[in-house]
Each structure stands twice: as C-alpha cells, then as structure tokens.
Amino acid sequence: MQNLPTTLYNVASVVQLEQLAIQQHNIPAYTLMQRAGKAVFEVIKADYSRCKNILVVCGGGNNAGDGYVVARLLRLADYDISVVSLSDPEKLQNEARQAWQDWCEVGHNYHADTAYIKKAGVIVDALLGT
C-alpha cells in the first residue's frame, strides 16, 4: 500500500475540485466517478490480488456510485465480489444510479444484510462521501 497518496482533502476542497473539473475542464461527473472507482480497483489489484472474497458496502449517495464502479471492475476482472446495499439502489440518482445500472449489466448481486462481512478479505467502504 505504499502507493497510496498521503495528502488529505476536506469536503469543501473536494467539492470545489470536482466542480472545477466539471465546469472548467468539461469532465463529466460520471467520468470522475469512474476514475475514482478505477483508482480503488487498481489498488486492490496491485496490493490485494490474492484475496478471494471482496465486499463492497454501498450507501445511498454518490459514494455508493463509486462503490458500484469498483464492484463492476472487480467482477469484470473475475474477482469474487459481493455488494451489500444499505439503501435501496433503485432510489439512487444521477451518476450513482448510472453506476448501479452499469453494475447490474455485468450480473450483479447485492444484499441488504451484512452477513458477508465475515468472509470478506477486503471491504470497500462506499457509504459516506462528500
């Protein structure tokens, strides 16, 4: 995990950077979400490739969308992946909903309970964000 960045950003800074990317650089919000998910996927692939079970825990906001992007990429790379949705994914909006729909297209499974935590080698927290 030595490749992880050490710089931390507060919520206001992240929101400002995202808006700058979207408005001034014309980067779609869903592209930013996909890039965030891909970054997490790359860390898992590099540092946890031997893990057999990966769990993504999603909430009901945009951070859930990041989680669904990660889950989809892991599934496409043949990882054993489970998703626990603590909120109804049907109620997701905008980019998060698109990420969930993309996850559904690759043969999704999601659960409303946390029994899967016990067998997970890696847990991706996609509950809270900005």
Task: Report the SS3 class of residue 126.
Answer: strand
Residue linked to tokens 């080698």 = 121
Q: Where are the domains of the chain?
A: 11-126
Return averaged pLDDT per consecutive 10 residues of the chain, 130 residues in all: 62 78 86 93 91 89 94 93 89 95 83 71 85
Q: Using CA atoms, how far apart are residues 128 and 121, in angstroms rounded to an integer?
A: 21
pTM of the predicted protein model: 0.85
Helix axes 29-47, 94-105, angle to 10 degrees: 50
**What CATH number should be reported for the domain whose range is 11-126?**
3.40.50.10260
Beta bridge partners of residue 124, listed in sequence order? 56
